Amino acid sequence: MVALIMAGGKGKRIGGKTEKPLLKLLGKPMIRWVIEATMAAERISEVYVVATNRTPKTLEEVSKSPVKVIKTDGKGYHMDLQQAILDSDLKYPVLTISADMPLLTGGYLDQVISHYWKAGKPALTVLVPIEACTRHGVEPTSLYPFEGKNYAVSGLNVVDGRKILEGEQEQEVLISDRVAVAINVNTRLDLEAAEKYLREKTDTKGV
């Protein structure tokens, strides 16, 4: 499956002068963590980074990686996603990933893709229980109602590129409390929570 890393937003909520995808965790730009996860996934065959004029330094950074770059008009997440799919003629299912998800792993992405193929629906969205976000020290900024309960939007989805102009696609909903999707970086507190998790993970490996 092809992966699209969406890295064209302003990142207003986090503030500062650094483009959000370039905020560093353990000395490495956040988008590098995301790219490395996609490159480690066995079920991902090709990786694109979608950027805009709002993220020129991000474009410069990703040019160092073995990924393709799509430049869009910066009219918003959904409009940019639609433009990226149409301009690159991606007429098949596409995994979309927000650039603010540095805790993703190749193994987890493979699990999501496998779940998508088994579900047999055009689209898939990953939702996170709000209590899972709270447990990891973050507050969800986007909520999605499902079966009478609100969940946090993870920023990880699959859409069928062949149906991108048809409006909302029938979708499989995958509920996950994994830290990989529970923490996406929208605020400074989120950034601190992500770095804390990565430090603890690194320290544990060193034992």
Q: CA 106 to CA 41: how far, in whole Å? A: 4
10-55 pLDDT per residue, tens: 656 665 778 889 999 999 999 999 999 999 999 999 999 999 988 8
In the prediction, which pLDDT does 101 show? 95
**What pLDDT is stored for residue 205 in this prediction?**
56
pLDDT of residue 207: 34
Tracing tokens 């996950």 back to the chain, one arrives at 176
pLDDT at site 206: 45
Q: For residues 80 and 50, is the Cβ–Cβ distance under 8 A? A: yes
Regions of the chain short of the pLDDT cut 70: 9-15, 203-207
Q: How many helices (H) and strands (E) does the chain have?
A: 7, 10
In sequence order, which residues have a C-beta less than 8 Å from that of residue 147 and are 6 or more positions away? Answer: none
Where does residue 25 fall: left (phi above 0), alpha (psi -120 to 50 degrees), or beta otherwise? beta
DSSP state letter for 22 = G
**What is the structure's pLDDT at 201?**
80
Assign 28 to helix, strand or coil. Answer: strand
Global pTM value = 0.91
